[in-house]
Amino acid sequence: MASNVLRDARRIVVKVGSSLVTNEGRGLDENAIGEWCRQLAALVQGDASGRREVIMVSSGAIAEGMKRLGWATRPKEVHELQAAAAVGQMGLAQMYETKLREQGLGSAQVLLTHADLADRERYLNARSTLLTLLQLGVLPVINENDTVVNDEIKFGDNDTLGALVANLVEADALVILTDQKGLYTADPRKDPAAQFVHEARAGEPALETMAGGAGSSIGRGGMITKILAAKRAAGSGASTVIAWGRERDVLLRLAQGEAIGTLLVAQTAKTQARKQWMADHLQLRGAVLVDAGAVAKLQGEGKSLLPIGMTAVEGEFSRGDVIAVRDSTGREIARGLANYASAEARLLCRKPSGEFEQLLGYAAEPEMVHRDNLVLSHT
């Protein structure tokens, strides 16, 4: 049953670590990146099991920048780390673009910070961009925007970023490619009795004890950040595989259901996790009132909420806030994430999408609440 987790996954986030991407800091490993890109393209372009949507989260910008600048040791000053990231990002993006283009696949560079995913409006903007790229058949290559962050830059953050991206796009699975075969019960370099963990439940406290500390001098994350990333990804229903990145055809074999590396299984179904979060959201920022036609569309046909069916807006809220959807009697029939702030929503009531640009000065989503971001109330 566990082998079906990756075989059945339609949307996958793949994260690859710095030591793999840069061949332990010696510079971008063209052959290795080429191999991953070949596999990524095969997943996107489809096989007998169908097409997949894939996002790559790649470390390596700082390590590549250090190599290009001739620095043998990792600097400690934040501004030097930022400079290394800026230099290395050029080569990293160019390498992925070249290798994916050779496979007939378009790519896009997306730089994110944790702040982008903490702010609800920026969160929704990032989500919309990534989902649009996937619909266009373009493979997003994501890295943390290390050139602008203020806190100390840690390579292990990209494990967390991979999990956040999995949550962001509601991925079915997160694959973390590393320089280890997977998780052991103890450090196999120090403990000959260490046992390999083939499968476990994501979030089990014992896993964090097993994981220990940081790994190589190039990638600072170590196994512990991967275990914590799997725990975070499981919150939105995504299972995680931790596997050796140089395993032959590792992505393709995982997608075929082969058991490789350590599988950390999410205990909550993807749709259940997301809808439960919205259903339990207590801090409703406001509400929109809708007519009988909109109620019928939402409850009877599972449609998105369009502004043309809205009659009034209550409260003050921002794009990305959770709001209630109420019928003419004030009864809550649904709740979900608002695509428009309350001031904009008031302008859009009873208006068709063709008039949005004239009213707002820009063209955005046609829905007030997309059906993927909406859960019906049980009343």
Query: Per-residue pLDDT averaged across 167-174, rounded?
Result: 91
Rama region for 352: left / alpha / beta (φ>0; ψ in -120 to 50; rest): beta
User: Domain 4-270, what fold?
Assistant: Carbamate kinase (3.40.1160)
3-state class (DSSP) for residue 367: coil
In this predicted model, what pLDDT tens digit does every residue of 178-211 receive, in sequence order? 988 999 988 787 888 889 999 999 988 889 888 8
Write down the pLDDT at residue 281.
Answer: 53
CA atoms within 13 A on the CB side of 19: 19
Q: Which of 258, 317, 368 is nearest to 4 (CA)?
A: 258
Domain ranges across the chain: 4-270, 281-376
- For the chain, strand residue ranges (E) read 11-16, 53-58, 107-112, 139-144, 173-178, 199-201, 239-244, 262-265, 286-290, 310-315, 322-326, 332-337, 374-376
Taking the CA atoms of the chain, what radius of gyration do you get in angstroms?
22
In this structure, are residues 176 and 229 in contact, taking their beta carbons and an 8 Å threshold? yes
In this predicted model, what pLDDT tens digit does every residue of 310-340 receive, in sequence order? 999 999 999 988 899 999 999 999 999 899 9
| CA 151 to chain CA mean position, Å | 21
Locate 344 and state its tokens: 């904009």
Locate 342 and state its tokens: 């309350």
Residue 286 pLDDT class (50, 70, 90 cuts): very high
Is pLDDT of 264 > 90? yes
Is pLDDT of 109 > 90? yes
Residue 275 pLDDT class (50, 70, 90 cuts): low
Is pLDDT of 370 > 80? yes
Which pTM does this prediction carry?
0.77
Written out in words, the top-level CATH class of the domain with range 281-376 is mainly beta
In this predicted model, what pLDDT tens digit does every residue of 55-81 receive, in sequence order? 999 988 888 999 999 998 888 888 898
Write down the pLDDT at residue 262.
Answer: 95
In this predicted model, what pLDDT tens digit does every residue of 233-246 receive, in sequence order? 998 889 999 999 99
Residue 156 pLDDT class (50, 70, 90 cuts): very low
Query: Per-residue pLDDT averaged across 335-351, rounded?
Result: 94
Write down the pLDDT at residue 155.
Answer: 36
Q: Tell which wins on pLDDT, 113 or 156.
A: 113
Query: What does the alpha-carbon distance between residue 95 and residue 173 come to, in Å, rounded to a whole number?
Result: 25
Locate 361 and state its tokens: 């000065």
| Beta-ladder partners of 57 | 15, 142
